[in-house]
Amino acid sequence: MGKNVMAVVSCLAFATTLVVNALANILPINGMNTGEISALYPSLFTPAGFTFSIWSLIYLLLLLYVIYQWWWREELWFAELSVWFWLSCVANASWIMAWHHLYPVASLLIMVTLLFTLTRMFLLLHKHRVSFTINQVLFAHLPFTVYFAWICVATIANASAVLVALPWDGSPLTEVTWTVAMMVVASLLAAGITLTYRVPAFALVVVWALVGLYVRWRTGHDTLTHVSLFLIGMLGALTVRTLYQLRKAQTA
């Protein structure tokens, strides 16, 4: 397949993803918008509604990638990244359909597939990152880092929704204990990836999710409030440290 054709397919795949996501709330698909369906599976791990505005940032970053890809068609990583990008678009749109037709288990399996494609893209871009120009860092590496980070959080949230749908009360642990465990897992994952790959954007995305949890539970759940504040502080400090290291490396 020619490089020009691959770029066109990427544009079409991204446009399809945007249309499906828009119709999910405009129509809406199956008579309910995405938030209303989330309300059917109440979970303590679901953050405040404003948190999901991060999708606007993700899609803006992906749009910039789709635009700038036309200048990167001869790069060694372009063809492989394009294939994984198409698969991620298919998974994204498929997740919307499964979620809106009330198939939570299927939606989780699709979400894991999406996570896998983003993992492959993240690792591929990281491998070539040392030779990236500033535009490639901003419009290729950054978009998929933010997307990857959010889908890590979303996969945990999707899993918690499935447990609610089963239903399973979490015995012998309480729902609060399970939620704290999921928050810690998400934070440790963010810390590990940020430290290993020096991507402060990843930690900031998880911080954003934790802020959403804090805002939602700042009254009524002291344990979740205190844990979220602690984890926000930890990841915030890690982000500052990573930014300092990157700055130091650039000036060395």
Q: Where are the domains of the chain?
A: 1-167, 169-252
212-221 per-position pLDDT tens digit: 999 999 988 8
Reply yes or no on whether the pLDDT at 142 is more than 90: yes
Q: Which range, of 10-19, 158-167, 181-190, averages the lowest pLDDT?
A: 158-167
Per the model's pLDDT, the better-predicted residue between 200 and 250 turns out to be: 200
User: What does the pLDDT average to over 185-200?
Assistant: 97
Q: Which residues contact 142 (CB under 8 A, 6 or more apart)?
A: 61, 201
Mean pLDDT of 42-56: 94
Instruction: Calculate ∠ Cα 119-155-179, nearest 5°.
Output: 130
| pTM reported for the whole predicted model | 0.96
Q: Is the dihedral of CA 144, 209, 104, 38 positive or negative?
A: negative
- Please provide residue 86's backbone torsions phi and psi, each rounded to the nearest 5 degrees: -60, -45
Cα–Cα distance for residue pair 142/119, rounded to 1 Å: 13
> Nearest 5°: CA angle at 36, between 96 and 156?
60
Average pLDDT score over residue span 235-244: 96
User: 252: pLDDT confidence band, cut at 50, 70 and 90?
Assistant: low
Q: Is residue 90 very low, low, confident or very high in pLDDT (cuts 50, 70, 90)?
A: very high
Q: Measure the CA–CA gap between 144 and 122, rounded to whole angstroms.
A: 6
Of 64-68, 89-93, 160-164, which gets the smallest average pLDDT?
Answer: 160-164
219 vs 21, higher pLDDT: 21
- Name the DSSP class of 139: I
* Helical H segments across the chain, by residue range: 3-26, 34-39, 54-68, 78-100, 104-128, 134-136, 142-165, 175-197, 200-217, 222-251
Among 122, 123, 189, which Cα is nearest to 154's?
A: 189
What's the pLDDT band for 248 if we cut at 50, 70, 90?
A: confident
Whether pLDDT at 170 is above 80: no
DSSP assignment string, 63-110: HHHHHHGGG-TTSTTHHHHHHHHHHHHHHHHHHHHHHHTT-HHHHHHH
Question: Is the bond leading into 42 cis (omega within 30 degrees of zero)?
Answer: no
Q: What is the DSSP letter of 43?
A: -
Nearest to 108 by CA among 119, 98, 93, 121: 98
The C-alpha atoms of residue 173 and residue 179 are separated, in whole angstroms, by 10
Is residue 97's pLDDT more than 80?
Answer: yes
pLDDT-based confidence at residue 167 (cuts at 50, 70, 90): confident
Percent with pLDDT over 90 in the chain: 87
> Distance (Å, rounded) from C-alpha 115 to C-alpha 92?
10
Per-residue pLDDT, averaged over 47-73, amounts to: 96
More confident residue, 14 or 36: 14
| Per-residue tokens: 39 | 């309300």
